């Protein structure tokens, strides 16, 4: 039966969701409780936007499970994939960068689960939760370093090496062991790889086919597993 409208049922989020995650690892269970009671949880289908570039940063997020694809669109309409964020990390933390709007769009690369809080809570989180700010600045620093490396790659390396580096990054961050190698844990297309490397899906397809022929990787539709990481590193590294 269709019942009367009622307020969103208040699910008590389990404390184990946050305990152990770096930004919260130093907190006692009372503090975790506090934080969880102010959070809202939401599930996202694959490919749905969590927030969009330019929009006011109303909330910040903790990705509990799944993967976030950070995306920007050029004025001419081409998409660029800035990076991927795995579960267990904060994202949409515009406030940490001194922004009031989101600097990029966040799309789920797989079905995902995220907590979020109103951005007005950011300062109190920083002020009263030990380790929160230092840990978040660590992740900001890590991401900055990655983007830094990407800039170098873009400027100096050829497409094949950039693709190799992109895949290695994904494998390091999201790789899960399967028989015969390490698989990228979420669906990824040649188009995606091209948007990460400033290339085209055709070039990506050709290079991947070549690698597959030589046993470096194996791939199906939207799936890539690295069989020989070592040789891939050789390809990606100093001029071959």
Partner DNA sequence: ACATTAATTATGT
Partner DNA sequence: ACATAATTAATGT
Residue 135 or 192: the one with the smaller Cβ distance to DNA is 192
Considering only the stretches 33-41, 98-106, 145-153, 189-197, report the one whose residues sit in contact with DNA under the rule CB under 7 A: 189-197
Residue 62 or 188: the one with the smaller Cβ distance to DNA is 188
Q: For DNA, which residue of 41, 191, 228, 231 counts as binding (CB under 7 A)? A: 191
Least CB distance from residue 201 to DNA, whole Å? Answer: 6
Residue 30 or 213: the one with the smaller Cβ distance to DNA is 213
Residue 120 or 214: the one with the smaller Cβ distance to DNA is 214
The answer to whether 38 contacts DNA (rule: CB under 7 A) is no
Q: For DNA, which residue of 221, 230, 238, 240 counts as binding (CB under 7 A)? A: 221
Least CB distance from residue 233 to DNA, whole Å? Answer: 18
The answer to whether 160 contacts DNA (rule: CB under 7 A) is yes
CB 64 within 8 A of CB 87: yes
Residue 135 or 160: the one with the smaller Cβ distance to DNA is 160
Q: For DNA, which residue of 72, 143, 206, 231 counts as binding (CB under 7 A)? A: 206
């Amino acid at each position: 039966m269709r019942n009367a409208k009622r307020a969103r049922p208040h699910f008590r989020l389990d404390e184990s969701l946050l305990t152990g995650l770096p930004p919260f690892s130093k907190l006692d269970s009372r503090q975790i409780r506090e934080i969880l009671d102010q959070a809202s949880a939401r599930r996202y289908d694959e490919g749905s936007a969590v927030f969009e570039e330019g929009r006011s940063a109303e909330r910040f997020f903790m990705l509990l499970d799944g993967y976030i694809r950070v995306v920007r669109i050029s004025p001419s309409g081409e998409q660029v994939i800035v990076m991927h964020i795995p579960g267990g990390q904060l994202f949409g933390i515009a406030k940490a960068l001194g922004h009031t709007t989101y600097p990029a769009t966040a799309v789920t690369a797989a079905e995902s689960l995220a907590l979020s809080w109103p951005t007005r809570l950011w300062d109190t989180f920083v002020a009263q939760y030990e380790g929160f700010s230092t840990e978040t600045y660590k992740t900001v620093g890590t991401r900055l370093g990655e983007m830094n490396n990407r800039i170098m790659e873009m400027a100096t390396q050829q497409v094949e090496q950039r693709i190799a580096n992109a895949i290695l990054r994904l494998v390091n961050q999201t790789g899960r062991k399967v028989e015969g190698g390490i698989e990228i844990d979420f669906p990824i297309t040649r188009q995606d790889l091209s948007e990460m490397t400033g290339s085209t899906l055709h070039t990506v397809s050709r290079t991947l086919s070549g690698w597959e022929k030589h046993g470096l990787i194996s791939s199906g539709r939207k799936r890539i597993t690295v069989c020989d990481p070592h040789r891939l590193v050789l390809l990606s590294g100093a001029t071959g």
